[in-house]
Structure 1
Amino acid sequence: MRDSYMLDDPEFIRWQAGHRYDADDRASWWRSWLDVVAETTARGVAMRRLRVVSEPVHDYIRYEFDGTFTNVAAGEEVRWLPRSQARGLLLPVLDGWVFDSETVILHHFSGDGQWTGPRMEVRHDPELARRYTEAYETAWERAIPHAEYQPA
């Protein structure tokens, strides 16, 4: 949902300095989160990530785009939604993950993309989960699959 996160992230700083993951050297970019994704999707659970972005994109979004092949390789479906194509959509103001019909994890960031307060807030709220899911599904339908998206 944001155009940048944690600009002091060491991986982002390395990317700015020219480091890129080598798709052929899986050991150099595979990490524990990707194990979770691979194990989860192997059980038949769909894991989808929607990135809503302004265009032209911020360097942080280019960094995310460059590394998204790792998420896809692990089994995530990823789509990109330019804000210019989000007219008429009602999207949540907080980033979040919906796990099931009642569990949502909300992420709290400051204006400059740093974690704040409770970094992650777990909510067991069927109505909140329904509303997040409804907004997400509508946006997902408009979004562009990762393999077809080219950042502007």
Structure 2
Amino acid sequence: MLYRPKFDDLYRTYTRAFHLEVQDSYGVASENEQLQRFLGGEPTTYPEDWQQWDAFVKEVTDAGASIQRLRVVTEPHSDYTRFLLHHTDRNVAAGEYVRYLPRQNVSSDAYTVDDWWLFDDAVLAFSIFTPDGEWAGGAITEDPVLVGRCVEVRDQLWPLGIEFETYLRGQG
């Protein structure tokens, strides 16, 4: 297991990071207040931990790294994925390449049930969450079979994903 800040060093060590997200809700306590405001139609602010993430993304992408994020989502969206969609423009502005893939457009056999990060097709980090939905760290492996499977998943799904701006326009 790697925890912050050692997990963050992976982004500084490798030049390409790919993140697969497959959950429709994460239940992160630090997001609850803003999620409830969003659901109530009230103005929201960007959660502080997300602001820190964006600053970090800007740092590593300005240094030449590439960060891709693919969200496999159920449509119609859960409350949580609608909330994420509302704020994803900040991820993109920070330097991430974000795509959405409607779950009904791909077989469940084509992706994994876990979220993970893939660094330079060499290191795989499975996202580990606490029972209440908080990110707990990354379970790291360089096992060539696991890494190879995730490279295949990325290579198959990334081209099917819809770029954030295009996907957002289609939601209106």
TM range (shorter): 0.7 to 0.9
Question: Given the alignment of the two structures, is residue 135 of structure 1 paired with residue 156 of structure 2, yes or no?
Answer: no
Deviations for 1:77-98, whole angstroms, at most 9, x for unmatched residues? 0000001111375211110011
1:119 CA displacement: 4.6
Provide the rounded CA distance (Å) in 1 between the counterparts of 2:88 and 2:113: 23
Q: Structure 1 unaligned runs (5+)?
A: 23-27
For residue 15 of structure 1, what is the aligned residue in structure 2? 38
Identity %: 32
Aligned CA RMSD, in angstroms, stands at: 2.8
Provide the rounded CA distance (Å) in 2 between the counterparts of 1:72 and 1:91: 23
Report the TM-score, using the length of structure 2 for normalisation.
Answer: 0.72
Provide the rounded CA distance (Å) in 2 between the counterparts of 1:40 and 1:126: 26
1:68 CA displacement: 0.3
Question: Given the alignment of the two structures, is residue 90 of structure 1 paired with residue 110 of structure 2, yes or no?
Answer: yes
1:15 CA displacement: 2.7
Report the TM-score, using the length of structure 1 for normalisation.
Answer: 0.80
Check the 8 A contact 1:80/1:144 in 2, yes or no. Answer: yes
Check the 8 A contact 1:21/1:29 in 2, yes or no. Answer: no
Provide the rounded CA distance (Å) in 2 between the counterparts of 1:60 and 1:78: 17
Greater helix share, 1 or 2?
Answer: 2
| Runs (4+) off by over 4 Å | none
Q: Aligned runs of 1:3-82 on 2, under 5 Å? A: 3-6=24-27, 8=29, 9-10=31-32, 11-17=34-40, 18-21=42-45, 31-82=51-102
1:4 aligned partner, one-letter code: S
SS in 1 for 2:66: coil
Which of 138, 141, 155 is the equivalent residue of 1:123? 141
Check the 8 A contact 2:55/2:94 in 1, yes or no. Answer: yes
Provide the rounded CA distance (Å) in 2 between the counterparts of 1:47 and 1:141: 15
Higher relative contact order, chain-length normalized (CA < 8 Å, sep 6+)? 2
1:144 CA displacement: 0.5
SS in 2 for 1:31: helix
